[in-house]
Amino acid sequence: MIQDGELKKVVEELAAERGFFVVDIQNKKGKIKVIIDDQAGIKLDKCIGVNKSLRSHFGERIDDYDLEVTSPGLTEPLKVLPQYEKNIGQKVQVLRKDGTDVNGTLLDVTPEQITVEEKKRIKTEKNKKKTIREEHVIALEEVQYTKLLISF
Span 115-149, pLDDT tens digits: 999 998 888 777 788 889 999 999 999 999 999 99
Q: Is the pLDDT of residue 58 over 80?
A: yes
Q: Which amino acid is at 135?
A: E
Out of 70, 100, 116, pick the residue that ends a domain.
70
pTM score of the predicted model: 0.87
Backbone angles phi, psi at 57, to 5 degrees: -65, -45
Same-domain pairing of 14 and 58: yes
Strand order in the sheet with 31-37: 21-28, 31-37, 66-70
Per this entry, what is the length of the chain? 152
Measured from the Cβ of residue 14, the count of other Cβ atoms closer than 10 Å reads 20
Q: Which domain holds residue 55?
A: 4-70
What is the Cα–Cα distance from 112 to 138, expressed in whole angstroms?
9
Number of domains in the chain: 2
Q: Which of 86, 104, 97, 85 is nearest to 139 (CA)?
A: 97
Query: For residues 127 and 28, which has the higher predicted lDDT (pLDDT)?
Result: 28
Q: 92 and 33 share a domain?
A: no
